[in-house]
């Protein structure tokens, strides 16, 4: 059994979920700061990161509340604010952070897509730590299995540690995107890394959803898979458009 509480006092308790989220966000910030050192000064990096984080948390929480647990939060709306207890949507985080960043970049008149390519690499790393937090919080559990690496949550059935599958997936995406971005042999058009993240994350998320213990609709798909579909379509289309525009024109 995994104890989601890292430590507690008579007045409050600190969950591993919150700790892992803070670690992820901090490391993600350091990565972004390093990658953006040629394009932004220290003040701009901090200001934009705060803008991104505000949008990320709002979007992540609202998507979770609306799409995953509306019946619970609608009866006790104040609990929507208790984000440290868990309950965020990665799809909402993407929408929220992109929206807030896009607005902020236009206000500050910076190269929107160039900087976004750097930001998404840090976010990919952060999401990996959030998934570890999900594991330690005993939430988003996997389906029952008898595999050697199955895990028991709350002393119940042994399940797929699907949260760790997602964490490994995100760390792998981070390593790949970081390597591509730092390679001097690869010169990608602006926006490519961002849309590549959206495509690889959403398509791999669609697959890992099959291992999760979720409510499945008559179609055989989960809410996470339904939310992933438009992300897959949009990102794939964007990558195709970028590829077409990058092709040399005939004289």
Show the DSSP H helices in the chain as ranges. 16-35, 42-63, 70-73, 90-108, 112-136, 162-182, 192-208, 223-246
Give the separation between CA 184 and CA 140, rounded to whole angstroms. 39
Give the separation between CA 227 and CA 205, rounded to whole angstroms. 10
Residue 250 confidence (pLDDT):
57
Provide φ and ψ at 116, rounded to 5°.
-65, -35
What mean pLDDT comes out for the span 67-78?
A: 81
- The pTM of this model reads 0.87
Provide φ and ψ at 188, rounded to 5°.
-95, 150
pLDDT tens digits, one per residue of 196-239:
999 999 999 999 999 988 766 667 888 889 999 999 999 999 99
Give the separation between CA 190 and CA 238, rounded to whole angstroms. 11
Which of 64-68, 81-85, 139-143, 161-165 is predicted most confidently? 161-165
What mean pLDDT comes out for the span 55-62?
A: 89
pLDDT tens digits, one per residue of 81-130:
877 666 778 889 899 999 999 999 888 888 888 889 998 999 999 999 99
């Amino acid at each position: 059994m995994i104890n989601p509480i890292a430590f507690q006092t008579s007045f409050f308790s600190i969950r591993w979920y919150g700790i892992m989220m803070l670690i992820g966000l901090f490391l993600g910030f350091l990565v972004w700061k390093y990658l953006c050192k040629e394009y932004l000064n220290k003040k701009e990096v901090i200001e934009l990161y705060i803008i991104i984080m505000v949008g990320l948390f709002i979007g992540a929480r609202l998507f979770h509340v609306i799409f995953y647990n509306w019946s619970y939060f609608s009866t006790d709306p104040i609990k929507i604010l208790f984000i440290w207890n868990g309950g965020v949507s990665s799809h909402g985080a993407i929408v929220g952070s992109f929206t807030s960043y896009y607005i902020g970049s236009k206000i500050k008149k910076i190269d929107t897509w160039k900087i976004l390519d750097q930001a998404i690499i840090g976010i990919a790393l952060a999401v990996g730590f959030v998934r570890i937090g999900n594991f330690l919080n005993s939430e988003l559990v996997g389906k029952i299995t008898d595999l050697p690496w199955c895990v028991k949550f709350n002393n119940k059935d042994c399940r797929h540690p699907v949260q760790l599958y997602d964490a490994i997936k995100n760390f792998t995406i981070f390593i790949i995107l970081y390597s591509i971005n730092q390679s001097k042999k690869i010169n990608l058009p602006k926006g490519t890394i961002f849309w590549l993240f959206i495509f690889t994350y959403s398509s791999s998320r669609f697959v890992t959803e099959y291992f999760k213990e979720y409510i499945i609709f008559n179609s055989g798909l989960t809410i996470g898979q339904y939310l992933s579909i438009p992300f897959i379509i949009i990102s794939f289309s964007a990558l195709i458009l970028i590829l077409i525009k990058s092709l040399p024109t005939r004289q």
